[in-house]
Amino acid sequence: MVKLAAKCILAGDPAVGKTALAQIFRSDGAHFQKNYTLTTGVDLVVKTVPVPDTGDSVELFIFDSAGKELFSEMLDKLWESPNALCLVYDVSSEQSFNNCSKWLEKARAQVPGSSLPGVLVGNKTDLAGRRVVESAQAQAWALEQGLECLETSVKEMENYEAPFRCVAKQFHQLYQEKVEVFHTLV
Amino acid sequence: MRKVDLCLSSEGAEVILATSSDEKHPPENIIDGNPETFWTTTGMFPQEFIVCFHRLVRIERLVIRSYFVRTLKIEKSTAKEPVDFEQWIERDLVHTEGQLQNEEIMARDDHATYLRFIITSAFDHIAAVYSISAEGVAVSDLS
Ligand SMILES: Nc1nc2c(ncn2[C@@H]2O[C@H](COP(=O)(O)OP(=O)(O)O)[C@@H](O)[C@H]2O)c(=O)[nH]1
Ligand SMILES: [Mg+2]
């Protein structure tokens, strides 16, 4: 049995629902806040996620940049040495989806030489009538980029745990791969 | 006085603390004398472990076998309890793809009862330490 610890960063355009996703995960779906003021600085959500069929778990340290300091020095600090990425877009915003490649590039630049487990999350599926990004389109891009892909509606509390379970599982797998490498070296 | 590898459980050394542990790759693997077993870090850095010699020793040479370790800090203490650690050595290791890091450190007859190893950064998400050997002599027992 092992308990791993992973720093998971939340990336994506402003207002796609990153903070909402982290907060609903923290509170186990207890509340969805419609309106809240963005606090400045960093919010950290720490939660342990079991890895199915293993007895192992991953303690996720989810770093949310609460505020508008995008691409600032502060974000650089916040994004230092991530172990996993949760890349969020809004299914009703074409631009938020298009900007994902930019966010992904920036996140991957934080871990030169090693891979970064990640999941692409299309949020706000409850806005069905305003949807402009189709699942298939997102899936194709995610596959190309080596990301897992899924959709959520934080508002309807749908699938909100899946992104975190997904990165936890990927990080656990990465750990096992590294251990295999360590065995082969001797 | 006999020169030995002091950093072995068979010589009385013990790992008294480690920030992470996988049951399958516990920190005891570092001092078990088996070159093939290792301790793994399990996530975010820094990660550390403390070796207790259970006696005062004088160290002449340290060898650390590891993989993916980038920055290593070593602190030492000569107290009876694991307190009062002082900064001793800091090294930036190089990554050797497919081959263990074999870092040799010459000490100047430094005394210690405890050594604290802190990995502050790594070349990948996970690092491993296979063994630490500390060549030197036992000076006195702790009364
Ligand atoms: N309709 C809808 N709105 C959402 C959903 N998730 C978040 N929001 C709203 O989108 C806005 C921005 O959310 P926020 O979490 O602050 O986005 P962030 O800037 O990415 O952190 C807020 O008004 C949320 O209430 C969702 O699943 N559906
Ligand atoms: Mg936010």
Q: What is the mean pLDDT of residues A75-83?
A: 86
Q: Provide the CATH number for the domain around residue B55.
A: 2.60.120.260
Of the candidates A103, A119, A121, A95, which has an alpha carbon nearest to the alpha carbon of residue A18?
A: A121
Tokens coding B91: 């090294």
Burial of B8 (0-12, 13-18, 19+ CB in 10 A): middle
Q: Tell me: the pLDDT tens digits for B27-82?
A: 999 999 999 999 999 999 999 999 999 999 999 999 999 999 999 999 999 999 99
Q: pLDDT grade, residue A38 (50/70/90)?
A: very low
Which residues lie closer than 8 Å to A173 by C-beta, 6 or more apart? A117
Phi/psi at A116 (5° precision): -125, 110
Residue B31 confidence (pLDDT): 98
Query: Which is nearest to A7 in space by CA: A73, A81, A90?
Result: A81
Give the one of B44, B121, B130 whose C-beta lies nearest to A5's C-beta: B44
pLDDT given for residue A41 in this prediction:
54
What span, in angstroms and rounded, lies between the C-alpha atoms of A80 and A61?
13
Question: What per-residue confidence (pLDDT) applies to A27?
Answer: 84
On whether the CB atoms of residues B127 and B66 are closer than 8 A, the answer is yes
Tell me how crowded residue B63 is: count the other CB atoms within 10 A of its CB.
15
Domain count, chain B: 1
Average pLDDT of the segment spanning A139-147: 98
| Residue bearing the bigger pLDDT, B16 or A72 | B16
Domain range spanning residue B20? 4-141
Of the pLDDT bands very low, low, confident and very high (cuts 50, 70, 90), residue A153 is: very high
3-state secondary structure of B23: coil
Chain B residues in contact with A175 by the CB 8 A cut-off are: 40, 42, 125-126
B125 interfaces chain A, CB cutoff of 8 Å: yes
Mean of pLDDT over chain A: 90
| pLDDT at position A29 over 80 | no
The predicted-structure confidence for B70-107, as pLDDT tens digits, reads as follows: 999 999 999 999 999 999 999 999 999 999 999 999 99
Give B44's contacts in chain A (Cβ within 8 Å).
5-7, 61, 81, 83
What element of type H or E holds A48? strand A41-50
Q: Which candidate, B72, B95, B45, places its Cα nearest to that of A80?
A: B45
In angstroms, the CA B134 to CA B117 distance is: 13
pLDDT of res. B143: 61
Contact A164, A154 (CB under 8 A): no
Residue ranges with strand state E in B31-142: 39-40, 47-67, 69-77, 86-92, 101-122, 128-141
pLDDT score of A121 more than 60: yes
Distance CA B12, CA B103 (A): 23
Q: What is the ipTM of this complex?
A: 0.94
Q: Cis omega before residue B46 (within 30°)?
A: yes
- Candidates A9, A10, A13, A16: which one to mutate for ligand 1, based on the most atoms within 8 Å of Cβ? A16
Give the nearest partner residue to A179 out of B23, B40, B44, using CB atoms.
Answer: B40
- A132 vs B62: CA distance, rounded Å: 61
pLDDT at A30 exceeding the cut of 90: no
Better-predicted residue by pLDDT, B46 or A65: B46
In this predicted structure, what is the pLDDT of residue A175?
98
Q: How far apart are CA A143 and CA A179, in angstroms?
A: 26
Partners of residue A178 in chain B, C-beta under 8 Å: 40, 68, 124-126, 128
Percentage of residues of chain A with pLDDT beyond 90:
78
Check CB contact under 8 Å for B125 and A3.
no
Instruction: Return the pLDDT at A20.
Output: 92
- The mean pLDDT of A133-143, rounded to a whole number, is 98
- Sequence-ordered list of residues with C-beta below 8 angstroms from that of B140, at least 6 positions apart, any chain: B55, B56
Position A168, amino acid: A
Chain A residues near residue B34 by CB distance under 8 angstroms: none
- Residue of chain A nearest B26, judged by CA positions: A2
* Rg from Cα positions in chain A: 16
Q: What would you measure as the largest C-alpha separation in chain B, in angstroms?
A: 46
Mean pLDDT is lowest, of A37-41, A54-58, A169-173, B33-37, for A37-41
Measured distance CA(B111)–CA(B131) in Å, rounded: 20
Quickly name the fold that domain A3-185 has: Rossmann fold (3.40.50)
A86 CB within 6 A, ligand 1: no
- Residue B26 confidence (pLDDT) above 90: yes
State pLDDT tens for residues A1-12.
999 999 999 999
Q: Whose CA is nearest to atom 26 of ligand 1?
A: A124
pTM of the model: 0.93
**pLDDT for the residue B20:** 86
- Alpha helix ranges (H) inside chain A: 18-26, 73-78, 94-98, 100-108, 135-145, 162-184
Q: Measured from the CB, is residue A17 less than 6 Å from ligand 1? A: yes
